[in-house]
Amino acid sequence: MTDVLRRGRASLAFGFFAQGVAFALLVTRIPAIQDRYGVSDALLPAFLAAVPILAGVGSVTTERLVRRIRPSRLLRWSQPVVLLALLGVGAGDGMVELAVSLAAFGLAVGALDATMNMLGVSLQRAYGRSIMLSFHAAYSLGGIIGASLAWAGAHWDLPLAVSYLPVVVVLLPAALVGSRWYLDAKATDAPEARDAGEGGQAVAFKLLLPLCLVMTFAYIGDSTVSNWSAKYLQDVLGSSEQLATVPYNVYMVTTLLGRAIGDFGVRRLGAVAVVRLGALVAAVGFAVVAVAPGAWVGMLGFTLLGLGLCVLVPQTFAAAGRLFPGASDVAVARLNVFNYVGFLIGSPLVGALGDAWSYRGAMLVPMVLVLVTLVYAPSFAARPDRYGGGHERPRTADVGPGSNGL
């Protein structure tokens, strides 16, 4: 394995990490943002929905741009925009500044998420073994650190700008320096993928649809945990306000642990088995949450959710790359849109069902959706790259010092 690939992997992992920090700092300080700008409770959902909608627009736009501009270049400049937009959210004075900053954040996040996963898929192909989960583990680690920094800012009642500025000052130059070693698909693809790409492989939505559904279901589950775990523990299971903050932290930690070891599972058992196991564990987690007699059993359920859901999204991106080796960038960009579809659907769906029926019953809906993933598990089968025990292909990438696509 060449040093160029190792540097490319390390720099991309840092990109995932920085994005995890930035996103966590935004979403965990929403109450403070609302107070700073005087956003009413009625208007807040519109602001929150605008970010994933614009991120979807950013991802669709990225699909078109990568036909002419290298993904590494888009990633190099979208990450600073995300960080500067985060700082703009903290430093603005009026509603217009907030709207502009959130719009820039959403559009840039869509481009950032798409291009990071494009590069991750191509690097995995070059390595000849599963490494995609390790990138998402870096994102989870960033999310934990970002949430911890947000807690510290709230604990000491720091202004948003004061909380955000040191993070941006550290991460922005580091991300720009690291971007020098990003590797594009043309630099990392194996010969068979490069040959397929020369013919302009079309991305058939019919073939991509099962992965789109899995991505949507996974993010419905994820958004259920992030938006409803605290309320569920406090209002349904009768926990204290302090204890109600624990499930999401536990979920993030178990997500990190699951992703940190997930690549080994894929190499040993294969992607299909890991996806099936993850779906089953997540479904059991939702079932435990739904029937939990008290807060501690509920937290066990959220722990299982972290271990189960954490493998689905990275493996979905990896499967898209294997399914369309000659057009993986386009496939990843299209698939990434369903990340935001699931995020938009999940929280309102659970809230509406909880109000109309019961929150315990509402937890069964994402459970059923996650179980549907079992039906689509064959879509994760290795197509030409047999990631898993006994199926590692030779590493055929030929990457020279000047082939980093910059």
| pLDDT tens-place string over residues 223-262 | 999 889 988 999 999 988 778 878 888 999 999 999 999 9
pLDDT tens digits, one per residue of 177-198: 999 999 986 655 544 444 444 3
Residue of 1, 93, 110, 92 lying closest to 50 (CA atoms): 110
pLDDT tens digits, one per residue of 340-376: 999 999 989 999 999 999 999 999 999 999 999 999 9
Please enumerate in sequence order all residues whose Cβ is within 8 A of that of 361, keeping only pairs 6 or more positions apart, or say none: 290, 353, 354
Tokens matching residue 108: 């840039």
Nearest 5 degrees, angle CA 111-CA 114-CA 120? Answer: 135
- Mean pLDDT (the chain) is 89
User: Exposed e or buried b for every residue in 154-174, given b needs 16+ CB within 10 A?
Assistant: eeeebebeebbeebbeebbee
Tokens matching residue 299: 């937290």
> Could you give the residue ranges of the DSSP H alpha helices within 181-240?
185-188, 191-198, 205-231
* Token pair 């722990």: residue: 303
Q: What is the pLDDT of residue 296?
A: 95
- Domains delineated in the chain: 1-188 (1.20.1250.20), 195-389 (1.20.1250.20)
Q: Look up the pTM and report it.
A: 0.90
- The amino acid that residue 36 corresponds to is R
pLDDT tens digits, one per residue of 200-223: 578 889 999 999 999 999 999 999
Q: Phi and psi (nearest 5°) for 201?
A: -55, 130
Q: Cβ-count burial of 331 within 10 angstroms (0-12 exposed, 13-18 middle, 19+ buried)?
A: buried
pLDDT tens digits, one per residue of 148-181: 998 889 889 999 999 999 999 999 999 999 999 9
**Is it the case that residue 401 has pLDDT exceeding 60?**
no
Average pLDDT over residues 296-300: 95
Average pLDDT over residues 34-63: 93
Q: What is the pLDDT of residue 389?
A: 42
